[in-house]
Amino acid sequence: MKTSIASLSIAARATLNMHSLNNEGGEGNQIQTRMVDIVDHNGDMLKHVLMEHYYQLARGQHLALCQSCQHFNANRINADKDFIKRTETDKVSDADFIDQMLQTCAIDDVAGILVTEKRSLPRKSITEFGWVLGLPDRVSTSSYFHAKYVAERSSEKRAEDAEGQRTGANLGQSIFHRPASSGIYAIVCHLELARIGYNDIKQSYAIDEAERQQRASLLLESILYTFIELNGAMRSTQLPHLVALEGVLTTSTGVIPAPLISPLIGGSDDNATYREQMKDIVIALNGEQGESVKMVPFDTISGFATQMRTLIDSSLPFALAAGR
């Protein structure tokens, strides 16, 4: 029998080696690191990676996607001209618009969107990531020499490239420095599975059980891939090495939210306190009622993968009562 899961939280410490996930833009020949110990403000990068995985799975399984999301366009349903035309404000109310959007697109459903075309209407995301923070004194960044080589060239070609270099075209051979960080990072993530397909205005579901189940399991699958394969900036040349992953997963089968606390608790030398506190919070939330909140710890990357697989195979998205 499958268990209904309303929400899921993950608090983890991930050890990443030689990554440049936080590099952003360039200045001269020195690529800038945003900050040594913060990989990702607001969790935007991890959410982007998550949605890339979800997009690939959704396409593979032919889930409903709007015209825009079929090409992974970040404007989502705002850029689906036919949909926006079909749902003009004089024809379709905000509540009905949300229903039609949830039916039309599995990405707008789980990733959330601020509709700005013809109306202003928010769809709150099902998935949230917090800032990715380095543990104090556990992250180091170094700069690595890197060269771009250009094949043998004729004297005309060299002259042409030299002219390009002068005008900023940067076609010739060049050297630059690329920073890479290694260290232990704190990651927090929360998923509101109960809201998949849920119209917050009407307080009812716009899609049927089978479709909710499909979106939920692809979303959980994408979470698994996100942690296992941490893509990010410059991944084509510098895929990060995830060498360790430990933390806790909490789930809730009802209205109590799956608890989440920071894996920074306890400090760099103590990886037990945040897990002990999480355990006590789970006991406190359950009271004498039973087991609506559960916690499972994991100590390795494969341990996390195994726990996620069990969850994917044994869960259904919880259904909120209509008109709660």
Q: Which is nearer to Zn ion, 13 or 47 (CB)?
A: 47
* Residue ranges in 105-134 that form contacts with Zn ion under rule CB under 5 A: 105, 107-108
The minimum distance between CB 36 and Zn ion, in angstroms, equals: 36
Q: Confirm or reject binding of residue 215 to Zn ion (CB under 5 A).
A: no
Q: Which two tokens stand for residue 118?
A: 């013809």
Q: Which two tokens stand for residue 15?
A: 């050890």
Contact 87, 119 (CB under 8 A): no
The smaller minimum CB distance to Zn ion, of residues 113 and 135, is found at 113
- Decide whether 13 or 53 has the Cβ nearer to Zn ion: 53
Applying CB under 5 A, the span of 48-56, 71-79, 159-167, 214-222 interacting with Zn ion comes to 71-79
Number of C-beta neighbours around residue 264 at 10 A: 17
Q: CA 18 to CA 291: how far, in whole Å?
A: 41
The enclosing H or E element of 45 equals: helix 44-60
Instruction: Give the total of residues touching Zn ion (CB under 5 A).
Output: 7
Q: Which positions from 142 through 201 interact with Zn ion, judged by CB under 5 A?
A: none
Q: Are residues 107 and 69 in contact, defined by beta-carbon separation less than 8 angstroms? A: yes
Cβ-count burial of 60 within 10 angstroms (0-12 exposed, 13-18 middle, 19+ buried)? exposed
CA distances to 4, 6, 97, 102, 262 from 316, rounded to whole Å, are 5, 9, 26, 19, 27
Min. distance of Cβ 111 from Zn ion in angstroms? 8
Contacting Zn ion (CB under 5 A), which of 19, 47, 53, 76? 76
Phi, psi of 45 (to 5 degrees): -65, -45
- Residues 263-282 within binding reach of Zn ion (CB under 5 A): none
Which of 12, 58, 66, 115 is in the footprint of Zn ion by CB under 5 A? 66
96/160 with CB nearer Zn ion: 96
CA-to-CA distance for 127 and 121, rounded, in angstroms? 18
Nearer to Zn ion, 19 or 76 (CB): 76
Contacts with 156 (C-beta within 8 Å, 6 or more apart), sequence order: none
Residue among 6 and 69 whose Cβ is closer to Zn ion: 69
Cβ proximity to Zn ion, 107 vs 223, nearer residue: 107
- Return the residue of 50, 69, 188, 295 that touches Zn ion, per CB under 5 A: 69
Backbone angles phi, psi at 227, to 5 degrees: -75, -35
Interface residues with Zn ion (CB under 5 A) are 66, 69, 76-77, 105, 107-108
